[in-house]
Structure 1
């Protein structure tokens, strides 16, 4: 999933620590929501929601319907601004590869969304269903379930899910650390090459003049 370049969401800034929009961005998003709300109901129905996501993302029609049903947890056939704002933060966190950080910062919201049947438990099936939104790694799930020794039915309650978000975020930070180290090594190597090339050039000029 990606946010389409040039769309309204493309120009919003998501804080990389808390995965929330600034007050100015929230105000702009509210005005945008009001423009979409052509029926002046302070909500978006499934048709308006569908065309909004088709315009700003590359989500497939089936995925858009799944997202709407996920947000419309009360089955009223519409979503309000709070759900709309939550969705935008999810989309931007995915766009900026901050899915683990988002789940870590907002575990209660994510758990409620993934708890499709309202059973206060979520299974690996729930994770797989919305993988396109949260980019939940299959290998992380296996490692977590094996290491944590969760319940026999392989379903997480909220407390266990919160532990999973900490686990996933730690993995994310570890990947970031390794990537920084690799980049530092590459930069150091490039710097050494430049230094050697400079020394060779100086030596050649010296030989020519001597």
Structure 2
């Protein structure tokens, strides 16, 4: 079985996370700050060993799940049609985990900062890449805007994903503004992508009805 360069890149990121965890283990406190509230105050911690193992473990799990999806999806052959974009999504997602691990470690080394603002550019990048991916996605059961109407009609799938992909890129731009407006970072990260999800659901339903009325006529 041939392993793509992007899969190798994802595994390299996981290996880097492991290396950072090992190298910095003794410099970090026994209890790691791992969660912050909307005011960027620490509101949860976990043991150092668990916290440092968590991100590499999640990264490895994600690589495994993304490798499994095309094999178990009944429409897995369609994923092969946009495999380069799919693999890019894997790298970007694992990259987000690596970035968040870096933020957690940096904070716990004694450097306080606005976590919500710091995470904004990475999440924004994920949204933009997701938009790129769904614009290229063929009908499948795991990636994209999977509504009853997109999964029932290739035309609805294509039109919904073309529009939804552009909107996800806009959501990425809005999320990046969290760096400039840290007090609104959480809202800018969450609200736009929720609106995209609601809009594409309604759009796919209306598009399905419109196309099927046209066919009936």
TM over 0.5: no
> What is the TM-score with the length of structure 2 in the denominator?
0.35
Query: In proportion to residue count, which structure has more helix?
Result: 2
